[in-house]
Chains A and B, each alone.
Chain A
């Protein structure tokens, strides 16, 4: 019976609980419905949300996610709108969604990478063709020969059109290039027309007939191009038929250059604009074409693109080089992020200020340490005599104070080092402190066993410092950090990884941390690389968090310490440098060829000046040549960049021919395997190429040999231009030192015999004579080298975006020109 009662009571509890739940649910519904009341305004809702957020972390997190979601939706909308506006303005022009087509096929990546790889080469080919066209027309204007035979041979027309129709996915690009080329044709026709001093008037019948013939030939071969376009985009209203198929039906008798030009320009511009707007819906591709200076559209100037989520669909990062990615990202992100950097900098300043007000004593120690560091550094660099004794006392007291008040191992290690050096150094060329102590104070030689203990202590603490320097000064962390900032690829997952690592940092003593510094750096680097394969959301927020958290850990105190390390390191290096320099100078004092080295270096400087003058002359010559070939932008304004490029090319070609330089050897033998300047960075794959490795090792060897002789050439892998320019300096320096300056063993023996037999000049005198003549000869060779290098530099400067693939191409073109010229002569 009792059991039954218990069951009943438990049932009633369950029943009452359910009733209670239902009542709460009803009450909840009523409460939420009451929010619909018109009396509740937006501010009330936000007050409610603020209250809930401040008291309930779960709600705050959920609300933040809601905000992020809304932000993302708005970003997407804005990103779409940046191109939609322009699409709406293009009326009935064909709407082509190339992006979908590309993504739909398996070739989506090959298009983009091919685009990147080949864009410069295509530009170059178009320029070359245009140049030939220009030359032909120019010749025509001078010789009045039939236009067509000179302008386009049968083979040339076919080549050109094959080029235009060779690749499906580069169709749009080629189309626009073709447009540029047609503009060149018209420009040159205008030049011919201007020869009659009748600008704008109908061209002569002869030229018109020939041009019409040419147009028919072009239109015939253009059918392939047109069909291909039609096949890809049904129902499009291709308005550029006039360019591809209707030359023959055009009424040439009513020809007016201006109207035709305007019509062609408008048609092509509208069509191209539409195509570009469609294809460039991603900010990345937008940026790609933005770099193509010939063809700028107004939408690029006004668009703001905040949606990064499309990027991974578009770019095949595995196939892009680091340089390409860097170049693309740099341009795109510059203006967006510069404000953030300024804010961060102001934040750093503020934190320093806070630190100074909160830690006055510690700051005093740091400041005094820094001042003393600088004093020592200045003293070692200036190499002046030691200061007077009273100043020395101040320095010693300061050093002792700083050393024993400094809390950090690394700082103490540095000062141990300085004290140790001063302990052994002679003062005023007389006695060291050590000797002075032995002689005048209570110390005896055996007491100085303490030195052993001291030096052990020094090495112990220094080892940690060295580890720090190694990792710090290789700059890995800063490099990775800068990369991350430049690329803006940090994201939430990365942030979590970083956070874990930085939390770990807090728990590890600094000395131990430095040991693992490189490991952490690698981990961060790997994370950044892996990040490319992951989602790209919340990037901005991740960057902000990362910066603020990194700073909170690397606080002002740590910053001050690192500043000390740097100063200490500089002082130490300068100290060592001064000593080494003294030894080297003493070593070289009696070497006669030291003078020759100096004169040679001086001579090099003079030749460098000549090089600059030469370049200046070329550029001024280029400027004088301007006005013959003109390119136009979308608004029919002259484009000076193209023009100067073109003029530079022609001038350089002529210069090269006139001077009869062996440019092929220069480019192919010496530089074709070498990376070029202009922000070119070595990728791992390139650096590991066997031929590059061999070349680099050889240069390293030469560098070491040169250093043994007192010459110092830092071999900088990153700065290829320096590397190349210095490599040949080393080349002939080596030749001079090893082959010319010194006699072979056989020669040496022969001369010695001669000395004995004939009492002739001493071996050393002969060596000096021989070296002087070698210097003269090599200086002459050097001048030639400088001249060759100047040619090369001029080419690369005239075409700042020139790729390594173009140099061999340039060589071929130049050789071709030379051959043609010789044949004609």
Chain B
């Protein structure tokens, strides 16, 4: 079982429950038994899966337009690519720096 602080942290940052339940869980955390805590943990470990499924369920609905979802998802991919590129750049620089430091200038 995770430590209390960790589980409370996960509950706080989770978005798949409403705020009322989250606050109730945090306030009464000490009253929960182990089984109950494990149940919460189970839920949280499926969080990404639940959130993804939820988004997919909106695929053919009229709640979000194609353009809207397209822009947002592409923005995420773009950000991820940028992040990767930045990471690669940093890695290269790091390697270069290490290489330079390793040269023995006499």
Residues of A within 8 A of B (CB): 24-25, 27-29, 31-32, 34-36, 39-42, 44-49, 51-52, 55-56, 58-59, 62-64, 66-68, 70-71, 74-75, 77-78, 81-82, 84-85, 302-304, 306, 336, 339, 540-541, 544
> Which chain A residue shows the least CB distance to B40?
A74
Mask, B59-93, CB within 8 Å of A = 1, is 11001101011101111110110001000000000
Q: In the complex where A32-B56, A70-B50, A74-B40 touch, is A51 in contact with B72 (Cβ < 8 A)? A: yes
Instruction: Tell me the minimal C-beta distance from A89 to chain B in angstroms.
Output: 11
Q: In the complex where A39-B80, A45-B51, A77-B39 touch, is A304 in contact with B63 (Cβ < 8 A)? A: no
Q: In the complex where A31-B73, A64-B18 touch, is A48 in contact with B55 (Cβ < 8 A)? A: yes
Stretch of B1-9, B24-32, B97-105 lying at the A interface = B24-32
**Residues of B contacting A56 in the complex (Cβ-Cβ under 8 angstroms):** 63-64, 68
**Residues of A contacting B58 in the complex (Cβ-Cβ under 8 angstroms):** 59, 62
Q: Of B28, B32, B51, B80, which is within 8 A of A42 by CB? A: B51
How far apart sit A34 and B35, CA to CA, in the bound complex (Å)? 36
Q: Of B35, B36, B70, which is within 8 A of A31 by CB? A: B70
Q: In the complex where A40-B76, A47-B76, A52-B68 touch, is A541 in contact with B18 (Cβ < 8 A)? A: yes
Contact, CB under 8 Å: B16 / A70 = yes
Interface residue B106 (Cβ < 8 Å from any Cβ of A)? no
**Residues of A contacting B17 in the complex (Cβ-Cβ under 8 angstroms):** 67, 70-71, 74
Instruction: Tell me the minimal C-beta distance from A283 to chain B in angstroms.
Output: 13
Q: Of B15, B31, B64, which is within 8 A of A46 by CB? A: B15
**Residues of B contacting A28 in the complex (Cβ-Cβ under 8 angstroms):** 59-60, 66, 69-70
Contact, CB under 8 Å: B21 / A74 = yes
Q: Of A34, A75, A77, A544, which is within 8 A of B77 by CB? A: A34
Known: A28-B70, A540-B24; 7 extra A-B contacts, CB below 8 A, are: A32-B59, A34-B77, A66-B16, A85-B35, A302-B31, A304-B36, A541-B20
How far apart sit A569 and B75, CA to CA, in the bound complex (Å)? 64
Q: In the complex where A78-B36, A541-B18 touch, is A304 in contact with B68 (Cβ < 8 A)? A: no
Residues of B within 8 A of A (CB): 15-18, 20-21, 24, 27-28, 31-36, 39-40, 43, 47-48, 50-52, 54-56, 58-60, 63-64, 66, 68-70, 72-77, 79-80, 84
Contact, CB under 8 Å: B55 / A82 = no
Instruction: Tell me the minimal C-beta distance from A752 to chain B in angstroms.
Output: 81
How far apart sit A135 and B49, CA to CA, in the bound complex (Å)? 69
How far apart sit A74 and B57, CA to CA, in the bound complex (Å)? 21
Contact, CB under 8 Å: A59 / B63 = yes
How far apart sit A46 and B15, CA to CA, in the bound complex (Å)? 8
How far apart sit A304 and B30, CA to CA, in the bound complex (Å)? 10
> Which chain B residue shows the least CB distance to A77?
B39
How far apart sit A326 and B47, CA to CA, in the bound complex (Å)? 39
Instruction: Tell me the minimal C-beta distance from A33 to chain B in angstroms.
Output: 9
**Residues of A contacting B47 in the complex (Cβ-Cβ under 8 angstroms):** 42
**Residues of B contacting A304 in the complex (Cβ-Cβ under 8 angstroms):** 28, 31-32, 36
Interface centre among B16, B43, B58, B64 (most CB of A within 10 A): B16
Instruction: Tell me the minimal C-beta distance from B51 to chain A in angstroms.
Output: 5
Contact, CB under 8 Å: A67 / B18 = yes
Contact, CB under 8 Å: A58 / B63 = yes
Contact, CB under 8 Å: B15 / A48 = no
Instruction: Tell me the minimal C-beta distance from A113 to chain B in angstroms.
Output: 30
Instruction: Tell me the minimal C-beta distance from B49 to chain A in angstroms.
Output: 10
Contact, CB under 8 Å: A52 / B72 = yes
How far apart sit A42 and B48, CA to CA, in the bound complex (Å)? 5
Contact, CB under 8 Å: B72 / A336 = no
How far apart sit A64 and B16, CA to CA, in the bound complex (Å)? 9
**Residues of A contacting B24 in the complex (Cβ-Cβ under 8 angstroms):** 306, 336, 540
Instruction: Tell me the minimal C-beta distance from B2 to chain A in angstroms.
Output: 17
**Residues of B contacting A42 in the complex (Cβ-Cβ under 8 angstroms):** 47-48, 51
Q: In the complex where A29-B59, A77-B39, A85-B35 touch, is A44 in contact with B76 (Cβ < 8 A)? A: yes
Q: Of B34, B52, B84, which is within 8 A of A45 by CB? A: B52
How far apart sit A56 and B58, CA to CA, in the bound complex (Å)? 13
Q: Of A47, A49, A303, which is within 8 A of B55 by CB? A: A49
Interface centre among B40, B54, B68 (most CB of A within 10 A): B54
